[in-house]
Amino acid sequence: MKFSIQREALLKPLQTIVGVVERRQTLPVLSNILVVVSNDRLSMTATDLEVEMIARVPLDNAQPGDTTIPARKIVDICRALPEGAVINITLDTEKERVTVQSGRSRFNLTTLPINDFPSVDEITSQFEFSLPQNILKHLIEKTSFAMAQQDVRYYLNGLLLEISSGVVRAVATDGHRLAMCTHDCDVKPVDTLQIIMPRKGVTELVKLLDDTDEPAQIQVSANHIKIQLNDFVFTSKLIDGRFPDYERVIPKNSDKHVVADKETLRQALVRTSILSNEKYRGIRIRLSDALLQAQANNPEMEEAEEDIEVDYSGEELEIGFNVSYLLDALGAVSDDTVSLDLGDSNSSCVVQPKGDSTCTYVIMPMRL
């Protein structure tokens, strides 16, 4: 194995995939990346057994071969070399070492056998479809904040992707609030397909996606999801479990409709939240004619109150919420105006961008 490459052409893909390599590794081979060179292409694979990322870089006049080399060290070496440097990488198969040479610098790295590297085989795909990258990114960004963290209900520690005829939907919930984003798409699965992507996979994937409408090829198997982009292949294991029936959580008979300016409401809530209980983050919302009153107090009996002008005409209502959940939902709304749909003080609130029903946020009330 032998090839030459520009520093920048190697560094960027390396830095992208090295994110999945965990710093504290119990298995030595997992702190390495798998390097496979063919005549005109270099492919590098990093894995933590949960998420696998492959970066592909075109090469000229390379001698084919494969090995595994320490991930962090090769990144650090590339980063420390001067800009525009040409890097020559050679594998000495006898000594099982890799030489990295550039200008007058030479580095000798250890390797580990490629058979020890647990790369994902070709997955037997059950369903394939393609989605523009920006749409996939949008679906994830609008929902992923609501994923649970280290919940014992392990199926909540991830993002549900649901593919039904003509529609792709992302749903995340931690049991207190729910985020859902739907997008039309030219797909026709036989049955509605539900997969849960683990948290780590979601956060790594969103870093890979660009705001372009270039397609992302998505393959789903019984155990994996594989997403092919231009220069990267992303594979994640799936969570083994059933996602709760989220449709039941979305209230259907809310009779109180509030329309507010998003930024005004958000800033008012941020201010009020300063004096809410630091642990429970409770906030009291009072609705009356054209007025939304937010009120919070903490254990020191300090109190914050703010009146916000809103578009509302209905019965008066007093309801409590965790203000962080409200702020998260408002933060994910990209429209200027937002609508809140409420029932009584014991039913959940639905937050939606005004005039756009593709994103829905459901927040459970809190007893104050």
Query: Which of 108, 126, 192, 223 forms a contact with other proteins (CB under 8 A)?
Result: 223
Contact between 122 and other proteins by CB under 8 A: the answer reads: no
Measure CA of the first residue to CA of the last residue in the chain; give whole Å. 67
> Using CB under 8 A, which of the segments 59-67, 112-120, 206-214, 272-280 binds other proteins?
112-120
Question: What string marks each residue from 270 to 289 as x (binds other proteins by CB under 8 A) or -?
Answer: --------------------
Q: How far apart are CA 259 and CA 356, in angstroms?
A: 13
Closest separation in Å from C-beta 240 to other proteins = 5
Q: Is 345 in the site for other proteins (CB under 8 A)?
A: no
Check: CB of residue 34 under 8 Å from CB of residue 117: yes
**Beta-strand relationship, 232-237 and 51-58:** antiparallel
Is residue 113 within the footprint of other proteins (CB under 8 A)?
Answer: yes
Interaction between residue 222 and other proteins (CB under 8 A):
yes
DSSP secondary structure letters along 172-209: EE-SSEEEEEEEE-----SS-EEEEEEHHHHHHHHHH-
Distance CA 365, CA 349 (A): 7
- Distance CA(280)–CA(234), nearest Å, equals 38
Interface with other proteins by CB under 8 A: which range of 117-125, 273-281, 324-332, 344-352?
A: 117-125
Distance, in Å, from the CA atom of 283 to the CA atom of 277, rounded to the nearest integer, reads 9
Q: Mask 31-70, x = binds other proteins (CB under 8 A)?
A: ------------------xx--------------------
- Write the CB contacts of 67 (distance below 8 Å, at least 6 apart in sequence): 1, 34, 35, 91, 96, 98, 111, 114
Region binding other proteins by CB under 8 A among candidate stretches 13-21, 24-32, 38-46, 54-62: 24-32
Q: How far is the CB of 237 from other proteins (least distance, A)?
A: 4
Q: Which residues are at the interface with other proteins (CB under 8 A)?
A: 27, 29-30, 49-50, 113, 115-118, 120-121, 152, 154-155, 157, 198, 222-224, 237-241
